[in-house]
Amino acid sequence: MDVVVQGRVLVSKLNLEIEAGDCVCLLGLNGSGKTTTLETLANVRSLPQGSVKLEGRPLHDWNRREMAQRVALLTQNHDDPFPTTVLETCLVGRHPHIDFWSWESQDDLNTARQALKEMHLDSLESRLAETLSGGERQRLAIASILAQEPTLLLLDEPINHLDPPHQLLVLDMIKQLAKQGCGVLASFHDISLATRVSNKALLLFDEGEWTFGPVSAVINQDSLESLYKTPFRAIREDSHIHYFPA
């Protein structure tokens, strides 16, 4: 598939498969097409060329309700147009599973509350979402995705705004979801944290070029210097390699 913005091809002829249990980190400079790629895969943006399949079926064969039961998209912006509580906001993730004209069941409430607990927000369920800090609001958006119970998660900078303990909390959650059989594609700026949870990587270069494969084959000092156009230093710690701008 091609990823295009206003006639400019950001990613050309992208060909990848995200399997159950995969955690794919998405890396690239600002403006390289990370967000647009995630939105295209989520069917939020039109696909000018190529095709995207979910469980072997083209996206246009799925209705929005069916897709929302399987695919979750975490965006970078979390708007609260109406005054809603933390619990009410989290319950939005349950809407694809609730019949039309029906109210949330006790099971839906329990699922939402468990998601809030996993994101350390259970004590704030009665607070208005608009009163949360940036990091708390980010964790609330992730909790809503957990409540949605998707099988494919498309996450745009999931650890953005988070302090170190909550970065690790979210990374551990991503790793656990992959172990449970979900597929994950997540964009990151912190390479060391990205490779901590990922088994595959998608790198977006200039002029529509990209590379995809196992982390050990795709991410190295040379590829990162080419990707970010800056020198990098590699530091090995046990079996993990940390990469830092030099």
pLDDT the model gives residue 12: 87
Per-residue pLDDT tens, the chain, 246 aa: give them.
888 887 788 888 999 999 999 999 999 999 999 999 999 999 888 777 778 888 888 888 888 899 999 999 999 888 777 789 999 999 999 999 988 777 888 999 999 999 999 999 999 999 999 999 999 999 999 999 999 999 999 999 999 999 999 999 999 999 999 999 999 999 999 999 999 899 999 999 988 899 999 999 999 999 999 999 999 998 888 778 888 898
Residue with tokens 């551990």: 172
| HEC letters along 71-120 | EEEECCCCCCCCCCEHHHHHHHHHHHHCCCCCCCCHHHHHHHHHHHHHCC
pTM of the model: 0.94
With beta carbons less than 8 A apart as the criterion, state whether 141 and 112 touch.
no
Separation of CA 3 from chain center? 17
| The two structure tokens encoding residue 194 | 């990205």
| The two structure tokens encoding residue 221 | 């000092």
pLDDT the model gives residue 214: 96
pLDDT the model gives residue 4: 80
Cα separation of 116 and 122, whole Å?
Answer: 5
pLDDT the model gives residue 149: 96
pLDDT the model gives residue 11: 86
Cα torsion angle, 228, 236, 193, 16, sign: positive
pLDDT the model gives residue 48: 73
